[in-house]
Structure 1
Amino acid sequence: MQVKYFTNLDQLEDISAKEKEKLKKVSQRYPFRANDYYLSLIDWNDPLDPIKRIIIPSIGELNAWGELDPSEESKYTVMPGLEHKYDSTVLLLISNVCGGICRYCFRKRIFKQPNQEYLRDIEAAVDYIRGHKEVTNVLLTGGDSFMLPTKRLKLIVGKLREIGHVKIIRFGTKMPVFNPYRILEDSSLIELIKNYSTPQKRIYIITDINHPKELSKKAIKGLKMLFKAGAILTNQTPLIRNLNDDPEVMAELFRRLSFIGVPPYYVFQCRPSVGNKEYAVPIEKGYKIYEEAKSRVSGLAKSSHFVLSHASGKIEVVGMNSKKIFFKYHRAFKNKNSSRFFSCKRNSEAYWLEDYDALACIS
């Protein structure tokens, strides 16, 4: 099935003219993109529909809050489209487009300036990785890695598989739920996974599934095909206000993911990107929601970590008491800080580490 893409709200019949006019300023500032399959999941009579929350602009995005590069990815950019923040992992931004643009995306800058940051010189990137033998993991993302034609993906993966010290190739993608037909109707993609996900060097697919409603029968069928082809699947999601900031919604997402073989990996604190105040939940409230959700599930449904993808590293929230909140570096840019434990005085209005007395916390 050939899905139809929309980049203009005027193309959508289910939004009133009055609402379109109100949201025009939002879509002019932060691009809109969706497809007819994903939009078909929306119950337009439900003002709180979760798919609508993910993909349709909200006037709250005009709130002056946040930064274009909240995790300071530019600091770790070696060349356009290649980031090397942690010794063992290189991130390649191989695509500058997604199947749809989530309204709370932390890389809005890529869609605002689509020709600047994604990788175009794959040979230079491969040479860089070949010259850094500490790199065992390469993450292919963007944008969405599965937006590239399979022929292009095969070229990239093939070159990476020629590098002996690269053991894991990871795809970051939301296409299994944005457009399952990308998987269901492309046998060459399944063959790529079969050929390059070997017993000694697995392909990992990191999905971005944010709400149980995204797990349609077609989406689950596509995920099953990837799994049967030999990929290891796991999921990450941001915690988003009025989407999955309810313990039972999050617990149901954890359950269903674990049941279908896509166990939870990370739950991210919503990054303070421009326009994201509308979607962010304070850290301490988010942690309570996350812990209550985990308390309602068992087994692999409990396997996630609640983290801040901070400029200095991935910082896990590991606990709170009446006075303090406790953090641990899940992975740090400075290796000496990896696994470092620290605490801060509680602040119920904190959305990011800098909202605490961060220097005092870490020192």
Structure 2
Amino acid sequence: MTKSNNQLKTYTLHNYRSIPQMANIPQEFIKDIEVVGRVLPFKTNNYVIDELIDWDNIETDPIFTLNFPRKGMLDKKHYMAVETLLDNNADKSVLDSKILDIRLSLNPNPAGQEHNVPYLGEIKLKGIQHKYPETVLFFPSQGQTCHAYCTFCFRWPQFSGMSGLKFAMKEADLLIKYLRVHKEVTDVLFTGGDPMVMSAAILRSYIAPLLSPEFDHIRSIRIGTKSLAYWPYRYLTDNDSDDIIHLFEEINNSGKNLSVQAHFNHPKELSTKAVKQAIARIRSTGTQIRTQSPLLKHINDKPEIWAEMWRKQVDLGCIPYYMFIARDTGSKHYFEIPLEKCWNIFRKAYRQVSGLCRTVRGPSMSDHAGKIQVLGVQEVKGEKIFVLRFIQGRNPRWVDIPFFAKYNPKATWFNQLEPAFGEEKFFFEEDRYKITTKPFLFE
């Protein structure tokens, strides 16, 4: 394995052929990258290439699949349409129009994210989502990219030039004004994209105001990031790595909790010297690292993989937090797994690990109504059912109430389920009209 240079070099559709390892891969892989990479965003970097991918086994290598477009990630008819236009050297306008049509058919706004965007007076805050009363998500405009793009990403429109579906905001002042009048908010989650692509100075400009006594109601600051998996040198040798570490220390010293919500999809991402050093350096500031990942076919769809990943995370001082179900957007059909299988993978992994790993929750769907956990499959009075509950609900009153859906062996998402026991609707559906007309049921 080649040791990566710790100066970041990114590769996209424009320059990926210059990756040295590309010279030895079959031509059909190149074709798939060219076709699928026109529709779904594609970006990787030298660390992923040199330290994570097994180039001798790319047909099945999970990290290659996480970073490089594969043919199956597009529906056959969509693949053929783009392939034909490329083969015929179609005009750019024709190709762009077809690509846009395909993207719009891939559910680019899953779980009703647009309904989570609040107002401040008459101003629509396009860089904020406020779905649950205690937590605000903030999308700083300078953080709307990543060190590398995951092929399963549910926020892929952020990187695809679909500006009408992009959540981003430059104005820190609007975030501050919003939080002043929403004292119910205890947690602010900086997300993207990836906030850790921003410079330390810009990240500080957003966070520092929240450390003042005026915002005592903000108890936790969270940073959602894939950087530990895809560019751990962010915390080690980047020009402002020390400034990042000092900022983390300052946040913790202010009395607030800082939690890095780290995305790790496979144990391989936890195996390098760089990631272990980066985790240790972050933790030395008093920061918590909580880990999460969707459950993905071709990547981590075996209980042994999850058990190994959770154990490694705990060994490194991280807290296993969530197993998600792949969202119904983008290339979901390539990665999706039936709900019953998701539950079986979760419980078989869960029973292999100690209590320190069992902080993890899942498998969970981030649905329009909230985070819905699949608790299991049971038979009650001769009817086979799914047992479900809300871990989080758009209406807090829904949280932790068990409810039931008819068993459907093919279901991969909540919208494919129906109420059990002859009920016409799920218990929370009385509020569905309110959800579509008033985003915040807690107001």
User: Match of 1:225?
Assistant: 281
Task: For 1:10 and 1:131, locate their aligned partners in 2 and report how far apart those are by CA, in whole Å.
Answer: 51
Instruction: Give the direction of change, closer, same or farther, for the CA distance of 1:23–1:362 in structure 2 (3 Å limit).
Output: farther
1:128-151 deviation digits (Å, cap 9, x = unpaired) = 011100001000010011011110
Alignment check: 8 A CA contact 1:202 1:231 kept: yes
User: Match of 1:347?
Assistant: 408
Task: For 2:72 and 2:28, locate their aligned partners in 1 and report how far apart those are by CA, in whole Å.
Answer: 16
User: Match of 1:125?
Assistant: 175
Q: Match of 2:243, SS?
A: helix
Deviation at 1:11, TM superposition (A): 3.3
AA of the residue aligned to 2:63: I
Q: Match of 1:360, SS?
A: coil
Q: Does 1:196 align with 2:196?
A: no
- Select which of 39, 64, 68 maps to 1:56: 68
1:272-296 deviation digits (Å, cap 9, x = unpaired) = 1122210111111111001100111
Alignment check: 8 A CA contact 1:194 1:229 kept: yes
Task: For 1:69 and 1:282, locate their aligned partners in 2 and report how far apart those are by CA, in whole Å.
Answer: 22
> What pairs up with 1:175-186 in 2 under 5 angstroms?
175-185=227-237, 186=241
> What pairs up with 1:252-271 in 2 under 5 angstroms?
252-271=308-327
1:293-329 deviation digits (Å, cap 9, x = unpaired) = 0111112212111111111111111122141111111
1:199-231 deviation digits (Å, cap 9, x = unpaired) = 731111010001000011210110110000110
Task: For 1:239 and 1:2, locate their aligned partners in 2 and report how far apart those are by CA, in whole Å.
Answer: 31
TM-score, length of structure 1 as denominator length:
0.96
Deviation at 1:30, TM superposition (A): 0.8
Alignment check: 8 A CA contact 2:340 2:376 kept: no
- Select which of 344, 367, 371 maps to 1:288: 344
Task: For 1:174 and 1:127, locate their aligned partners in 2 and report how far apart those are by CA, in whole Å.
Answer: 29
Q: Match of 2:373, SS?
A: strand
Alignment check: 8 A CA contact 2:32 2:70 kept: no
1:149-202 deviation digits (Å, cap 9, x = unpaired) = 110011111012222211100000010110111111211110000111137311
- Select which of 152, 155, 163 maps to 1:107: 155
Q: Which structure's residues are more often helix, by fraction?
A: 2
Deviation at 1:72, TM superposition (A): 1.1
Task: For 2:195 and 2:252, locate their aligned partners in 1 and report how far apart those are by CA, in whole Å.
Answer: 17
User: Match of 1:85?
Assistant: 131
Alignment check: 8 A CA contact 1:327 1:343 kept: yes
Deviation at 1:10, TM superposition (A): 2.7
Deviation at 1:117, TM superposition (A): 2.0
Alignment check: 8 A CA contact 1:66 1:277 kept: no
User: Match of 2:216?
Assistant: 164
User: Match of 1:23?
Assistant: 33
What stretches of structure 2 of length at least 5 have no aligned partner?
1-5, 79-104, 119-124, 429-443
- Select which of 110, 122, 125 maps to 1:70: 110
Q: Does 1:234 align with 2:239?
A: no
Q: Percent identity?
A: 29
Structure with the greater alpha carbon radius of gyration: 2
Question: Larger deviation: 229-238 or 333-342?
Answer: 333-342
Deviation at 1:22, TM superposition (A): 2.9
Q: Match of 2:344, SS?
A: helix
1:47-69 deviation digits (Å, cap 9, x = unpaired) = 21121121111111212774111
Q: Does 1:360 align with 2:372?
A: no
Q: Match of 1:235, SS?
A: strand
Task: For 1:157 and 1:281, locate their aligned partners in 2 and report how far apart those are by CA, in whole Å.
Answer: 38
Alignment check: 8 A CA contact 2:40 2:330 kept: no
Task: For 1:242 and 1:62, locate their aligned partners in 2 and report how far apart those are by CA, in whole Å.
Answer: 15
CA RMSD of aligned residues (A): 1.6
1:221-265 deviation digits (Å, cap 9, x = unpaired) = 101100001101110100000111101111101111111111210
Q: Does 1:315 align with 2:372?
A: yes
User: Match of 1:173?
Assistant: 225
Deviation at 1:82, TM superposition (A): 0.3
Task: For 1:303 and 1:282, locate their aligned partners in 2 and report how far apart those are by CA, in whole Å.
Answer: 24
TM-score, length of structure 2 as denominator length:
0.79
Task: For 2:173 and 2:401, locate their aligned partners in 1 and report how far apart those are by CA, in whole Å.
Answer: 36
Q: Match of 1:309, SS?
A: strand
Alignment check: 8 A CA contact 2:326 2:335 kept: yes
Task: For 2:33 and 2:300, locate their aligned partners in 1 and report how far apart those are by CA, in whole Å.
Answer: 23
Task: For 1:22 and 1:295, locate their aligned partners in 2 and report how far apart those are by CA, in whole Å.
Answer: 39
Q: Match of 1:176, SS?
A: helix
Q: Does 1:7 align with 2:8?
A: no
Q: Match of 1:236, SS?
A: strand
Instruction: Give the direction of change, closer, same or farther, for the CA distance of 1:11–1:362 in structure 2 (3 Å limit).
Output: farther
Q: Does 1:300 align with 2:312?
A: no
Deviation at 1:361, TM superposition (A): 3.7
Deviation at 1:45, TM superposition (A): 1.3
Task: For 1:151 and 1:269, locate their aligned partners in 2 and report how far apart those are by CA, in whole Å.
Answer: 35
Alignment check: 8 A CA contact 1:96 1:114 kept: no
Task: For 2:412 and 2:427, locate their aligned partners in 1 and report how far apart those are by CA, in whole Å.
Answer: 17
